[in-house]
């Protein structure tokens, strides 16, 4: 079922071999409730509790492929990555396959604990789970070659761009003037920020604070 899902991702336009291999390596069914296991390899978002969802496999693959296309991703592999919104831990596990180090921050304690439990069996030494306010980023781990967000706000926080390495890239949803979210790439080149707006997406709202 997982191989079939990966094949569909390739047919749907995901062409980066590293991304396809990473998605194939991570058992998505381990990150969803037992009642939803039969839907784990469908291209759909699923509830994970506390009003949050696990993103569609196609969206996870698309965002990670965009990160790997950054000028600073030498040889198609990323250095240190910051993930905003750990959720159930699935995307962090996929990121661990393509990045040297992953710092993943979650503002909801219930989800942070759930992700820790989900990831324990995978034994990923390069994944560091943090409980805190994702809008503040994680300065101790900066600078980051890539920052990826699973929630969308009115703008990309300045804390994220400050923590982005030269040649690095942020991939995040952002609320546009029409109140819909679009996927946005922010790149840092020679100290300047360049923003590119891509397709419409639907993520939970970006919020500050912890709960």
C-alpha count within 13 angstroms, C-beta hemisphere, residue 7? 4
Identify whether the C-beta of residue 141 lies closer than 8 Å to the C-beta of residue 80: yes
Tokens of 31: 């990150």
Which pLDDT belongs to residue 191?
86
Statement: the pTM of the whole predicted model exceeds 0.75: yes
Interhelix angle 17-25/2-11, nearest 10 degrees: 160
| Neighbour count for residue 197 (Cβ, 10 Å) | 11
Q: CB neighbours of 38 closer than 8 A, spacing ≥ 6?
A: none
Judge residue 44's burial from the number of C-beta atoms within 10 Å of its C-beta, 0-12 exposed, 13-18 middle, 19 or more buried: middle
Q: What is the pLDDT of residue 145?
A: 95
pLDDT computed for residue 74 by the predictor: 64
| Residue pointed to by tokens 């969308």 | 152
Alpha carbons 7 and 164: distance in angstroms, whole number = 33
Residue 77: the pLDDT is 80
pLDDT at 112: 98
125: exposed, middle or buried (Cβ count in 10 Å: 0-12, 13-18, 19+):
exposed
For the chain, give the mean pLDDT. 95
Cα 48 → chain centroid: 16
pLDDT at 155: 94
pLDDT at 156: 96
Q: How much is the pLDDT for 73? A: 74
Q: Is 15 a catalytic residue?
A: no
pLDDT at 75: 66
Q: DSSP string covering 138-201, please?
A: -GGG-SEEEEEESEEBSS--HHHHHHEEEEEEEEEEEE-TTS-EEEEEEEEETTEEEEEEEEEE
- Residues sharing a CB contact under 8 Å with residue 16, sequence separation 6 or more, in sequence order: 65, 68, 69, 76
Q: Determine the number of helices (DSSP H) and then strands (DSSP E) in the chain.
A: 6, 11
Q: What is the pLDDT of residue 195?
A: 97
Alpha-carbon gap, residue 3 to 176, rounded angstroms? 36
pLDDT tens-place string over residues 161-210: 999 999 999 999 999 999 999 999 999 999 899 999 999 999 999 999 99
Fold of 2-205: Rossmann fold (3.40.50)
For 90-142, write each residue's pLDDT tens digit: 999 999 999 999 999 999 999 999 999 999 999 999 999 999 999 999 999 99
Strands 52-54 and 46-49: antiparallel
Q: What is the pLDDT of residues 33-77, one digit of tens each?
A: 999 999 999 999 999 999 899 999 999 999 999 999 987 676 678
Which among 15, 45, 55, 96 is annotated as catalytic?
55
């Amino acid at each position: 079922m997982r191989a079939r899902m990966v094949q569909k991702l390739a047919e749907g336009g995901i062409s980066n071999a590293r991304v396809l291999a990473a998605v194939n390596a991570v058992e998505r069914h381990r990150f969803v409730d037992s009642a939803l296991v039969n839907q784990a390899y469908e291209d759909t978002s699923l509830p994970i509790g506390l009003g949050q969802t696990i993103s569609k496999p196609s969206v996870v693959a698309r965002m990670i492929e965009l990160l790997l296309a950054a000028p600073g991703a030498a040889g198609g592999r990323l250095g240190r990555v910051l993930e905003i919104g750990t959720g159930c831990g699935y995307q962090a596990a996929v990121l661990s396959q393509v990045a040297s180090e992953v710092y993943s921050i979650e503002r909801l304690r219930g989800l942070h604990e759930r992700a820790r439990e989900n990831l324990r069996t995978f034994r990923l030494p390069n994944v560091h789970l943090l409980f805190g306010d994702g809008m503040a980023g994680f300065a101790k781990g900066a600078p980051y070659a890539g920052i990826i967000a699973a929630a969308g706000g009115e703008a990309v926080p300045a804390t994220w761009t400050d923590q982005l390495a030269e040649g690095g890239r942020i991939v995040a949803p952002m609320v546009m003037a029409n109140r819909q979210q679009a996927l946005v790439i922010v790149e840092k080149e020679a100290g300047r920020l360049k923003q590119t707006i891509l397709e419409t997406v639907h993520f939970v709202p970006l919020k500050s604070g912890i709960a």
